[in-house]
Structure 1
Amino acid sequence: MNGKLGLFLLSSLLIWSADAQSVELKEIKSIGCHLNDDTCYVTVSGTAVGPSQCNSKSLRWRKDASVSGKETLSLLTTAFVTQKKVHFNIVESCIGNYPTFNYFSVTQ
């Protein structure tokens, strides 16, 4: 395993909390980023996820504000293009009116 991947996985495990909810495998229906701020998003298949105050099929993260935000965009874009399913670990906080996640994994 290369050092960056190992560090990313270790970081993901360290930030996991009991306030997070696992989500079944989701297909990414669309992906994009806002031009006026550093918010990126994926729209996923199936039912809406996240806490009640921001339950949605659109998951958000900050591309430039998080340590692995750009890597997240790259990995999720690859999953979208190759039609892989993704497992998200949703947290109990929101970015604006949308749920967010603290880690994800892509299936083969």
Structure 2
Amino acid sequence: MSNQNPERRNAKRRCLGATATIRNSSQTRIGGIIVNISEHGCQIELDFGSVSLGQYVTIKLDGMEVWPGRAQWSRDTTVGIQFERALHSAIVDHLTRTRAVVELA
């Protein structure tokens, strides 16, 4: 029996919670929170709007370079982005050390 929704991750996702600006192919600016990140992509909770499956986007965090990528999935205001170029693991480590939001229960 085949699995209809196989897990296709290339790297472990890490919790983040960093504020980002997303631009879609029409250059519309959308704010959002990067919920989790890996070297190959991220999950973003958008402040408003949506991103279409396959749509080209750029992601910008303050003080970081722009990361281009494509929407691999989209559900309401949450979108999964695959980066055009993998991030170096040191960048992901740095982000999770310096920008991760810790919520106290």
Do these two structures clear the TM 0.5 threshold for a shared fold by scoring above it? no
Structure with the bigger percentage of strand:
2
TM-score (ref. length: structure 2): 0.30
Pick the structure with more helix per residue: 1
